[in-house]
Amino acid sequence: MRYRLVLGAAIWLGCVGPALAAPTPEQTAQAALTEAPVWDGHNDVPEQLRDRRKDVLDGFDFRDTTHTAAPKLVMPWGKGVGAMQTDLTRLHKGHVGAQFWSVYVSAALPEPQAVQATLEQIDVLKRLVARYPAEMRYCDTSACVTEAWKTHQIASLIGIEGGHSIGGSLGVLRQMYALGARYMTLAHFRNNAWADSATDVPAHGGLTPFGKDVVREMQRIGMLVDLSHVSEGTMMAALDVAKAPVMFSHSSARGIDAHPRNVPDGVLDRLKANGGLVMANDVPDYISEAVRAYAVADKAEAARDDANHIGDPAAAAADHAAWTAAHPAPHATVAQLADHIDYMVKRIGIDHVGVGGDFDGGADNVDGFADVSAYPALFTELARRGYAKADLEKIASGNMLRVLRGAETYAAAHRGDPPIETPTVF
């Protein structure tokens, strides 16, 4: 009788064992994000606080921002804005455990004013974190990030988006680091005095000699060099100089989508050799070649309509509306976002890819990825494609943790090096 029971149990386990051993993609993603929460490379909540609220936090509820739509508010990109894409409730739902908060200010500002505005953005971000001590922790080291995870707090780090924010001064750069900035994007949508942007007419051939000193000094002090938004020439020049890992905080693959904001194959290959990281973002123009091409065609058609109806803007608008009705805009999808991750992983390896959503940056997002709560959908899609739990953990945060530690290790080894000095301008 005992033999029959043992035999029966063995047969039953043999039947159900494989099913139990094969988790669903949803389960694999859930397990990975529980073990290694998402470390997002770029989020623009501080910009939203500036544009919507003039950095006044009184009356602002960051636990729930779903009711923050402001259809009458005039923003830099046009009139009317939808609800914010980020709040604490949705960050937790999205398994976001660490966030580089962007302290972006407009590249159109005169540099002295940009320095002041950046300081104000650092201040509002720190004040926001301080209001929610149970849910958020301000961090400026990798060790702090891992400690925050133990207490289920969202590790909150500062990233500067654009070299205009240092006003052409290495002294200001060092003080920004002292205030907590742990990466700086070398340029934004416009060139600055020492670095070329991806979306401006090249002026410097990449980096000027001073720009190369900026990269050297950033790495000496332990600030990550962020190459999102910069031209291919700037990417290459920075990699020529870099001795520690660099990053792309929110960029995708130009091999899939030809937008200049994406990373060319040759740069991806050098990024692997550098030990750095590219963090895929979800702006539709950067994810879908069809969306990018449509935007180009739409702009060209608008210019043609204006040229055909000089002095008659109503007629131009009517013609453009008719063209738009006849040519529906395509949409980008979570699957296409996963395609970019696939492409980069296959080209440079699982150790060099992360995620940088660019939420609350003023742009649309891909379908199915509307706010920070959507990260499980992306990781489920990756698991569906065969990514193992350990692979997903690297993409979620393991790779970013390694890169920040690399920057810290390099800075520690060069702590005795003298600061790079340049004459003051005024």
Predicted confidence (pLDDT) per residue in 376-405, tens digit: 999 999 999 999 999 999 999 999 999 999
Three-state DSSP at 209 gives helix
Q: Is residue 307 part of a domain?
A: no
pLDDT for the residue numbered 236: 98
Question: Which of 164, 250, 259, 340 is labelled catalytic?
Answer: 250
Q: Is residue 139 part of a domain?
A: yes
Low-confidence residues of the chain, pLDDT below 50?
1-18
Q: Is residue 312 part of a domain?
A: no
Q: Is residue 277 part of a domain?
A: yes
Which residues form the domain of 350? Answer: 35-288+331-413
How far, in Å, CA of 94 to CA of 365, rounded? 15
204 catalytically annotated:
no
Question: Which of 40, 42, 135, 319 is labelled catalytic?
Answer: 42
CATH number at residue 394: 3.20.20.140
DSSP-assigned beta bridge partners for residue 100: 157
Question: Which of 87, 161, 217, 226 is labelled catalytic?
Answer: 161
Q: Is residue 353 part of a domain?
A: yes
pLDDT for the residue numbered 75: 67
The set of long-range contacts for 172-179, using a CB threshold of 8 Å and a minimum separation of 24, is 172/115, 173/214, 173/217, 173/218, 173/221, 173/223, 174/217, 174/221, 174/419, 176/118, 176/122, 176/223, 177/221, 177/222, 177/223, 179/119, 179/122
Q: Is residue 179 part of a domain?
A: yes
How far, in Å, CA of 210 to CA of 173, rounded? 13
250 catalytically annotated:
yes
pLDDT for the residue numbered 16: 45
Question: Which of 200, 282, 358, 371 is labelled catalytic?
Answer: 358
87 catalytically annotated:
no
Question: Which of 204, 229, 259, 320 is labelled catalytic?
Answer: 229
42 catalytically annotated:
yes
Q: Is residue 300 part of a domain?
A: no
pLDDT for the residue numbered 10: 41
Question: Which of 188, 204, 320, 352 is labelled catalytic?
Answer: 188
- Per the structure, the count of domains in the chain is 1
Q: Is residue 30 part of a domain?
A: no
pLDDT for the residue numbered 153: 98
Predicted confidence (pLDDT) per residue in 71-95, tens digit: 887 766 566 689 999 999 999 999 9
